[in-house]
Amino acid sequence: MKKIVILISGRGSNMEAILETARRDQWDSRVVAVISNRPDAKGLETAARYGIPTAVVPSRSYPERASFDAALQQEIDRHAPDLVVLAGFMRILTSGFVEHYAGRLLNIHPSLLPAFPGLDTHARALATGVRFHGATVHFVTAELDVGPIVDQAVVPVLPEDTEESLAARVLEQEHIIYPRAVRDVAEGRLRIVQGRVLPYTSDR
């Protein structure tokens, strides 16, 4: 049984998709804790409804990134997780933190990386006039939003789209690809080879 810790900052709909899928499909892996850097994150209540232990490590209370990351790492490691999942987690993490979880730290980013790393991805997609947009699940590395890609989903950008309508279309796909990716990584079905994510196969 693999142990998963989920980090959130807000609504937690991706977290809920993972909890719901894990329960429905009776995963062998288990979400052992949900941790937020914001005390007011709505996702904390959702996690509690699923009976998952929650904790807050308030980033506002730490003047330095390194001291926040150290406190967060300590809280995470109480659970000795096999996998740490960022789900709408809004704080850039220090290289020391990222290296501590190398190969077991996942993120979902709301764009088709390498397009639109960073924030405000839907507004930037609309402003750029791309015809397709989407979401990317990737391993987290020290450099922002460039880690090895686990999966992507594509959605069309429609002429009448607003930031909200586009975000909603992307989010629907996030809720499909993220639970699947989390399960595949937790259950050891994927490996990183020269910066690319490959399935384990019997013939290679």
Q: Does 82 bind ligand NHR (CB under 6 A)?
A: no
DSSP class of residue 93? Answer: P
Look at residue 81 and give the partner it binds from ligand GAR, ligand NHR, none, a contact being a CB closer than 5 to 8 Å depending on partner kind: none
Catalytic residues: 109
Per the DSSP assignment, residues forming a β-bridge with 204 are none
Q: Which stretch binds ligand GAR (CB under 6 A): 9-17, 30-38, 49-57, 182-190?
A: 9-17
> Which H/E stretch holds residue 24?
helix 13-24
> Considering the complex, what minimum distance in angstroms separates the CB of residue 59 from ligand NHR?
8
CB 89 within 8 A of CB 7: yes
Q: Phi and psi for 154 in degrees, rounded to 5?
A: -110, 140
Candidate residues 4, 14, 112, 139; the one interacting with ligand GAR per rule CB under 6 A: 14
Which of residues 29 and 173 has its CB atom nearest to ligand GAR in the complex? 173
Q: Please give the C-alpha separations between residue 77 and each of 69, 138, 202, in angstroms, as whole numbers.
A: 12, 21, 33
> Considering the complex, what minimum distance in angstroms separates the CB of residue 43 from ligand NHR?
15
The strand order across the sheet containing 149-156 reads 54-56, 30-36, 3-8, 83-86, 105-109, 132-139, 149-156
> Considering the complex, what minimum distance in angstroms separates the CB of residue 202 from ligand NHR?
32
DSSP class of residue 26? Answer: T
Interface residues with ligand NHR (CB under 6 A) are 86, 89-93, 98, 107, 109, 118-119, 140, 142, 144-145, 147
Interface residues with ligand GAR (CB under 6 A) are 8, 10-14, 87-88, 90, 108-110, 171, 174
